[in-house]
Structure 1
Amino acid sequence: MKILFINAFYYPDVGGGAEYTLKTLVEGMQQLGHQTVVAATRPIGNSSLTMINDVKVYRVSLFNIYWHLKFIKRSKVLRLAWAILDIFNPVMAWRFHRILSKEQPDLIVMHNLVGWSASVYAVLLRHKIPSVQVLHDYYNLCPNSMMFSNGSACKSICKTCAVARLPNLFFSKKIHGLVGVSRFVLKSHIDRNYYKNATARIAIHNVNHANSDDLTVKTKEFSNGTLTFGFIGKIIPAKGVAMLLDCFADIDFQSCKLVVAGSGEVDFVEKLKTSAAHNITFIGQVDSSEFYRQIDVLIVPSQWHEPLGNIVHEAFQYGIPVIASDAGGIHEMIMQGESGFVFNQLSVADLKRQMLKFVHSRELLKTMSLHASKAAIPYQDKKAWLGKYHDLFNKIVVDAL
């Protein structure tokens, strides 16, 4: 079977965890004997054809105001113009049509379509090729992909987003299969009448893209010294970093440390650094293994409905318990009181309560570390994960015959 995958970016152009998940899926399908091809955007200019680990990758020049990979602050006018063109981009549709005409795949698997726009769906109708949409975020519901506005998660779709996403809603009815990386993101679309004619709609949690064949249980050695909490990811308001820093102003955490890894908008990061307590350290972008060696407990205080956080099972792999907000699908990965704790995303007091459990008991930390290591095992099993996608892809193609 020839499978064509389409996404906003492809390795080594990485915008987030979706690109690592996609790379693992593409190369995994190739190892199972399928021919895989990828279409992704690249900076404005000339398109190119490259080979990455024997995978043919079309890097298509983006037809828009700017390329959206790099985290650069843009004016409201530029962002609005970009978003309007991204509602339905006929030029990107034509460029995708040319790839389909040349490759003639048996199946199309779509991931994040930001930059390509809903025009991709229209092209599929013309070619009558079986298709699967993998949902990593809320792009088909909201132009900013996050459903986060004015400092809080959106409870419903606003009128502006509803109008901008009418093409996505209409064409989603023609998609044959649907995967959500969490039950939450899957339900968020189904409940809003998206993909209502898909013959298969399932949730498949992402696998750990690194060392995913190692199914052994690991243990972490803890000292009786300073308890260290950690945060890793984009440092933006939606990630809840400010809430976490507020906790460390409390006298109960004066004997603890917080390590913050990642980068974000310069002004926002500098504001956080200026107000941060003395026991908070910002270390910038570092290798994840280096970060996890420095911490005892991972905090994921997301304020947006994060579909799934790969950092949760990464932490589990190192035997590190996780405290996460109940927003989105992250809590689906945590066994409350065993591999971690879930707190009310709107309550700083609840976050403090969960953190204090570790402050008051090092034995709890050691016990939960073992549970966290065991919880990592399903996310290390790449063979089983690929099998779920393989079975789905075969079903969609057979049903379309």
Structure 2
Amino acid sequence: EGIPVVQTLHNYRFFCPSAHLFRNGRNCESCLRKKFPWPGIAHSCYQDNRITTTLVGIMLGFHQIFKTLNTKVDIFIALTQASKEKFIKGGLPGHKIIVKPNFVSPDPTQGCGTGNFGLFVGRLIPEKGVQTLLNAWKKLRYPFPLIIVGEGPLSSLIQKTALKYPHISWLGRKSSLEVRDLLGRSSFTIFPSEWHEPFGRVVIEAFSKGTPVITSNFGAMAELVDHGRTGLHFNSGDSSDLANQIDFLITNSHLRQQMRVEARKEFERKFTADHNYEQLNKIYRKTMSIDTRELKTVSL
């Protein structure tokens, strides 16, 4: 009792049973601002099971009714401004939310980018935009190797596609060191996620190796990647637009090299362990010194 509480918000579980704001291939906000997440229960959003979803719903309803999150947590940390806006929309008090991104440690240092391939790293699930990526690769004007790293429910689809298209390779799960090596050697990384990612760790890991990122043009992804400087945006879910952006980057080697320099600079400015430590210390000091009931804005 009386000890300040700081909580980092990694997903949307506080008001969405699935935690992803994503249902049936589309972004979904049906449970936002509801005392009880009836839509999520009706659609069995947690583990595709109505019973387990109901149990999660009871927990969420309890927190909503008794406002435990609003009253028991002094400061929330959101990983991006985009996710902060979603949390506010979900009912968390905006004056208690501070934006502090994740970081990469230890610093893996600049990569060479001479591997001549595109790279996808992530869980193989629909909301990660895997199908959009595969469709885009089939539409490229210039055949170019794609390496996919990860496992998940869509693994069999990836395996079948890789057998049919020789330019697509699936490596399954790899260690963190192996992933960072691939990130450093890749020409660019693709982050085609279609749900409201609170962050995008793969993006900053790519930046740490100086690798530009092609990403969806909304939410945290668009916030992290500066279009034309550290990577490119494409219309989320649009495989033709993604193919166009990939073709553009493949044929502009000079721009890729410029982006590599800028991506590494972006990492050094925002996503190092030292920078994160400074931000976190400021947050902790503010939490111990302010009365959040009277707080209007929190800035770093």
Which TM-score bucket, shorter chain as reference?
A: 0.7 to 0.9
Which residue is equivalent to 1:370?
Answer: 261
Stretches of structure 2 lacking an aligned partner (at least 5 in a row): 32-36, 42-56, 293-300
How many Å separate the matches in 2 of 1:253 and 1:138?
39
| 3-state SS of paired residue (2:194) | coil
Aligned residues: 263
Which residue is equivalent to 1:336?
Answer: 227
| 3-state SS of paired residue (1:356) | helix
How many Å separate the matches in 1 of 2:131 and 2:15?
27
Which residue is equivalent to 2:70?
Answer: 173
Which residue is equivalent to 1:353?
Answer: 244
Which residue is equivalent to 1:192?
Answer: 90
- Residues 1:383 and 2:274 aligned together: yes
Residue 208 (structure 1) shift:
1.0
1:38-82 CA-partner distances (Å, limit 9, x unpaired)? xxxxxxxxxxxxxxxxxxxxxxxxxxxxxxxxxxxxxxxxxxxxx
2:168 to 265, 272, 280: 280
The alpha-carbon distance between structure 1 residues 290 and 384, as it changes in their structure 2 partners (threshold 3 A), is closer
1:278-326 CA-partner distances (Å, limit 9, x unpaired)? 2100011122223224421100000111111111111112121100112
Which residue is equivalent to 1:222?
Answer: 114
How many Å separate the matches in 1 of 2:15 and 2:218?
17
The CA RMSD over aligned residues, in Å, is 2.3
Which residue is equivalent to 1:242?
Answer: 131
After TM superposition, the runs of 4+ consecutive aligned structure 1 residues lying more than 3 A away are 158-164
Residue 210 (structure 1) shift:
2.7
Which residue is equivalent to 1:320?
Answer: 211
- Residues 1:211 and 2:102 aligned together: no
| 3-state SS of paired residue (1:173) | helix
The alpha-carbon distance between structure 1 residues 192 and 145, as it changes in their structure 2 partners (threshold 3 A), is closer
1:198-236 CA-partner distances (Å, limit 9, x unpaired)? x54211111113328x7xxx363537xxx4111001111
1:140 to 14, 18, 34: 14
| 3-state SS of paired residue (1:329) | helix
The alpha-carbon distance between structure 1 residues 221 and 343, as it changes in their structure 2 partners (threshold 3 A), is closer
| 3-state SS of paired residue (1:260) | strand
Q: Could you tell me which amino acid in structure 2 is paired with residue 139 of structure 1? A: R
How many Å separate the matches in 1 of 2:182 and 2:62?
42
Q: Could you tell me which amino acid in structure 1 is paired with residue 255 of structure 2? A: L
Q: Could you tell me which amino acid in structure 2 is paired with residue 396 of structure 1? A: T
TM-score (norm 1): 0.61
2:139–2:240 CA contact under 8 A, matched in 1: no
What aligned pairs does 1:242-261 form with structure 2 within 5 A after superposition?
242-250=131-139, 252-254=141-143, 256-261=144-149
1:12-32 CA-partner distances (Å, limit 9, x unpaired)? xxxxxxxxxxxxxxxxxxxxx
2:112–2:185 CA contact under 8 A, matched in 1: no
- Residues 1:271 and 2:169 aligned together: no
What aligned pairs does 1:10-25 form with structure 2 within 5 A after superposition?
none
1:141–1:161 CA contact under 8 A, matched in 2: no
1:219–1:370 CA contact under 8 A, matched in 2: no
The alpha-carbon distance between structure 1 residues 155 and 347, as it changes in their structure 2 partners (threshold 3 A), is farther
How many Å separate the matches in 2 of 1:264 and 1:370?
33
How many Å separate the matches in 1 of 2:28 and 2:245?
25
How many Å separate the matches in 2 of 1:289 and 1:295?
10
Which residue is equivalent to 2:38?
Answer: 159
The alpha-carbon distance between structure 1 residues 326 and 251, as it changes in their structure 2 partners (threshold 3 A), is closer
| 3-state SS of paired residue (2:263) | helix
TM-score (norm 2): 0.80
Residue 346 (structure 1) shift:
2.5
1:344-401 CA-partner distances (Å, limit 9, x unpaired)? 1131122112111112222221221111121111244322311222122122223369
Q: Could you tell me which amino acid in structure 1 is paired with residue 89 of structure 2? A: D
| 3-state SS of paired residue (2:210) | coil
Q: Could you tell me which amino acid in structure 2 is paired with residue 160 of structure 1? A: P
The alpha-carbon distance between structure 1 residues 205 and 152, as it changes in their structure 2 partners (threshold 3 A), is same
Which residue is equivalent to 1:121?
Answer: none
1:247–1:348 CA contact under 8 A, matched in 2: yes
1:312–1:322 CA contact under 8 A, matched in 2: yes
1:229–1:296 CA contact under 8 A, matched in 2: yes
How many Å separate the matches in 2 of 1:211 and 1:219?
11
How many Å separate the matches in 1 of 2:4 and 2:113?
50
> Identity of paired residues, percent?
24
2:132–2:239 CA contact under 8 A, matched in 1: yes
Q: Could you tell me which amino acid in structure 1 is paired with residue 83 of structure 2? A: V
1:124-162 CA-partner distances (Å, limit 9, x unpaired)? xxx343212211111112122111111222144263349
What aligned pairs does 1:79-158 form with structure 2 within 5 A after superposition?
127-157=1-31
1:222–1:366 CA contact under 8 A, matched in 2: no
